[in-house]
Amino acid sequence: IYVVWDEIDSGGAQIERVAHSDDAVNWTIVPVEPEPKAADIGGNLAIGPDGTVYAIWNRLGDPETTAFARSIDGGNTWSAATDVVSHNLQSFGSNNFIPAQDTRGINAFGAIAADRDPDSPHLGNLYLVYTDLASNAAADDTDIFFVRSADGGNSWSSPARVNDDRTARSQFFPWIDVDQSSGNIAVSWYDARNDRRNRRTQISSAFSADGGSSFQPNLQVTQPSAQFANSAIAYSDENSADNL
């Protein structure tokens, strides 16, 4: 069992720590990067088919980056951290207050997954998704980006956009997982494409059956439901003007 979190250490640095246990009673805790290059936050883990533990987190700064490290000994020691991608979106900067989250803001934190299906042609691949602004994007046109590695994180593909809308509206807070019976990749995120004011969000998803080389057309997951107080509603709205 592996758990990752960030905390302020005794010297005032914000670092990522990983705890591991084989009985959920006794835990060993180690820093992923004992001497961080920047404030670290937003950690996430994936386990490879050979038991290698992969960690990502965000290094705050200008630019903000997604960092990566791996452990081949069950989380006791970690490789030197490397940067996978740099971000135009600043998680705690001035450009992260999109209309759908105009008070709380959004972040560029990533999610990572590994293909552990022994029958998959992409066995061992690593997949990472995150929110960002393209360099020429409008201020609120955040998108979901995807990168992959076929060599244990030594190299990564160029970022590819997952959301297929042609709007300048916001997509954010992605997650990724791999179907370990097929190797298929599933990505989901919050999506404001259907609201002209860019405030109301729904959940969208996309699937890849070829190891992330391409994604099928996006699907809208959320639908009107009796589980909502108003069964005609199929969206969430955190905009402060709409919730006075």
Predicted local distance difference test score (pLDDT) of residue 234: 78
Supply the pLDDT for residue 188.
Answer: 98
CA 57 to chain centre: 9
96-130 residue pLDDT tens: 999 999 999 999 999 999 999 999 999 999 999 99
Tokens for 20, please give them.
């591991």
Q: With a cut of 70, list the residues of the chain below it in pLDDT.
A: 227-233, 244
Contacts of 20 (CB under 8 A, 6+ apart): 1, 2, 3, 27, 28, 53, 74, 75, 76
pLDDT in tens, 190-212: 999 999 999 999 999 999 999 99
pTM over 0.85: yes
For 150, the 3-state DSSP assignment is coil
Q: Is residue 46 within 8 Å of residue 81, measured between CB atoms?
A: no
Q: Are 32 and 3 in contact (CB under 8 A)?
A: no
Cross-strand bridge partners of residue 82: 68
Alpha-carbon distance of 197 to 121, in angstroms, equals: 43
